[in-house]
Chain A
Amino acid sequence: MRVKPDVKTEPAHYVEIDESLCNGCVLCMKACPMKAIRLRDGIARIEGVCIDCMECARVCPRGAIRGVSAGNFDLEDRSEYVVCPTTVLYSQFGEEFLPNDILLGLRKMGFPYVHDQSYTAEIYDYAVELYIREQRRRVDPLFPLISAVCPAVLQIILYRFPSLLPHIPPLATPREIVTRESKRRLAVRHGRPEADIKLLHISPCPAIMIREEDPRSGDRAVGISTIHDELFKAMQEVEEDRVFHYSGGIGLGWGLSGGEIAGLDVKAIAVSGVHETIRYLERAEMGLLDHIEFLECRICNEGCVGGPFTVADRYQTKQLVRRFVRMFGEERRIKRKYVQKLYAEGWFEAGREIQPIAQEHPVPTVADRIEQQRRVECILKKLPMKHCGMCGSPDCRTFAEDVVAEKARLENCAYLRERNPKEISCARS
């Protein structure tokens, strides 16, 4: 079975800064939760680890920051692809169109094979519940288990909270499950070898898209915004009357914050937004959330319905999704026995283990690192604590760290320039 790399193997970034549009304001640098952006010669640059949360692009007033691609929709032969739309797509066209109408619209666009992801979400959701129950029976359960469905959250855990990695259930992601399930089904039904089947993902999320584009298998991904207009036109012309949507309300609600835990019969909480997510991961790391069994985090406010490639307003979308959930019933429409069997067979197991990223410290000994930290604290006391960003670093503390790491010079601070920065010595006396 082919396994997609769910973790970027190198800290490359997938947002582009258009230097001709950037005027060197500090907004993106301050918005970045990873403190990865610096201003160099009056232009924003990404220098640290980017988790693809797109906070920078959201705040840029000049539209200078974009995801590298919203997907290339230039397909040679649409009939070769299985279309796997995100459940968020179902809520982008207002209340006249039900999930099934949208799947029929995709068929009208020339895609013979459509895969209902909300159904797969329900299967996955139940597998997670089975895993939590298994964990409960252990003598020393590791709670809270943390969802890594949101790829940006996974990236944050890898780089900032590696001690929480064992809290991620060792299950394949829903995306992997969709790939496995849709290829398997098509192979069985149409007798085509799995290797020949290509997927087209439709996604609200740049972080997911860059993981789904796969030159080896030919799998492609496009943003919702890329196909929205064509799909809307196609839906007006649908005459076909067949059922492709099978899920209940639990699967349909997956795009909302809280959607993943709505069907779980466990002690769980859902957090959304990048800053709240970091806050809760910090608390989990301190052991303050051990009484909770499952923690759902989504980097976008309100969940995936707030993704950068969505078209409809996230709050209206939220209401529409709630309506669907009521309409189709707040339950999973899956065969539990069958999923239990798949689970027991190990069908949900992750294709590969998530390995911590070995972070080499540029400073080798603990004593030297403590000394470095002492200098940071010492410099910090001399800084104005206005966090203005004019030095090119996002805040005074990060500036002090940059100075100690020799990535910035004290003279860059506009406040210190008036005094003689050379007088500021934080060398050990």
Chain B
Amino acid sequence: MPLLERKFNIKANDFVNAGEVSLEVQGILKKIGFPAALIRRVSICAYEAEMNVVMHGGDGEMTLSLEPERIDLECWDGGQGIADIEKALTPGYSTAKPEHQEMGFGAGMGLPNIKKNADTLDLESGEGKGTRLIMHFKAGDVEG
């Protein structure tokens, strides 16, 4: 069991509150005092994952698990799923709806950005099967 586990609900198509979950994640990490660069990487991943759920997912859930030497983010949604995972990880590849792109989202950088910023990324998905992202971050030697 991690020292701290916190679950957040994410609602599909709720662009008004989109980003709130990642802000909360960021807030918790700041309160604990992880290094700023690490917090930035985790919050970028949290944000991109959250936006993916809002845009493509059904409703979903993000779980933040904390231990002194590791941070884990798991983001699950029951939405449409990803047909071709390899393609989805290609920068610029996007299946976002035009109305989302008009709002400035869906540039096809979400998953590549997560891959860049997380220490490890596991992605389980399939068409119609929803999506589960498991992101892991090393947080070692931050005593003090």
Interface residues of A (CB under 8 A from B): 162-163, 282, 285-288, 361, 364-367, 369-371, 373-374, 376-377, 401
Contact of A365 among B6, B31, B143 (CB under 8 A): B143
B 1-36 contacts with A by CB, 8 A: 3-4, 6, 22-23, 26, 28, 31-34, 36
Interface pair A365/B44, CB less than 8 Å apart: no
Contact of B33 among A287, A369, A371 (CB under 8 A): A369
Shortest Cβ distance from residue A292 to the other chain B in the assembled complex, whole angstroms: 12
Give 11 A-B pairs besides A286-B47, A366-B68 with Cβ atoms closer than 8 angstroms. Answer: A282-B26, A285-B26, A286-B23, A286-B40, A365-B68, A366-B34, A369-B31, A369-B33, A370-B67, A373-B32, A374-B3
Contact of A370 among B22, B44, B66, B143 (CB under 8 A): B66
Residues in B with CB closer than 8 Å to A286 are 22-23, 26, 40, 43-44, 47
Which residue on A lies nearest to B23, using beta carbons? A282
Residues in A with CB closer than 8 Å to B22 are 286
* Contact A288 to B47, CB < 8 A, known contacts A163-B40, A282-B23, A370-B3: yes
Any chain A CB within 8 A of the CB of B142?
yes
* Contact A377 to B40, CB < 8 A, known contacts A286-B47, A366-B143, A367-B68: no
Q: List 6 A-B contacts (CB under 8 A).
A: A282-B26, A286-B44, A366-B32, A370-B32, A373-B28, A377-B6
Interface pair A369/B32, CB less than 8 Å apart: yes
Q: How far is the CA of A367 from the CA of B26 in the complex (A)?
A: 18
Residues in B with CB closer than 8 Å to A361 are 33
Q: How far is the CA of A364 from the CA of B68 in the complex (A)?
A: 12
Q: Which 9 A-B pairs have the closest CB atoms?
A: A163-B36, A374-B4, A366-B68, A370-B3, A367-B68, A286-B43, A369-B32, A370-B66, A370-B4
Shortest Cβ distance from residue B45 to the other chain A in the assembled complex, whole angstroms: 10
Shortest Cβ distance from residue A324 to the other chain B in the assembled complex, whole angstroms: 35
* Contact A364 to B44, CB < 8 A, known contacts A286-B26, A377-B4: no
B 100-144 contacts with A by CB, 8 A: 139, 142-144
Q: How far is the CA of A282 from the CA of B46 in the complex (A)?
A: 14
Contact of A371 among B3, B23, B142 (CB under 8 A): B3
Shortest Cβ distance from residue A381 to the other chain B in the assembled complex, whole angstroms: 10
Which residue on B lies nearest to A367, using beta carbons? B68
Residues in B with CB closer than 8 Å to A367 are 3, 67-68
Q: How far is the CA of A253 from the CA of B22 in the complex (A)?
A: 37
Shortest Cβ distance from residue B91 to the other chain A in the assembled complex, whole angstroms: 16
B 35-91 contacts with A by CB, 8 A: 36-37, 39-40, 43-44, 47, 66-68
Interface pair A364/B40, CB less than 8 Å apart: no
Q: How far is the CA of A376 from the CA of B44 in the complex (A)?
A: 24
Q: Among A285, A364, A366, A369, find the residue whose CB has the most chain B CB atoms closer than 10 A.
A: A366
Which residue on B lies nearest to A371, using beta carbons? B3
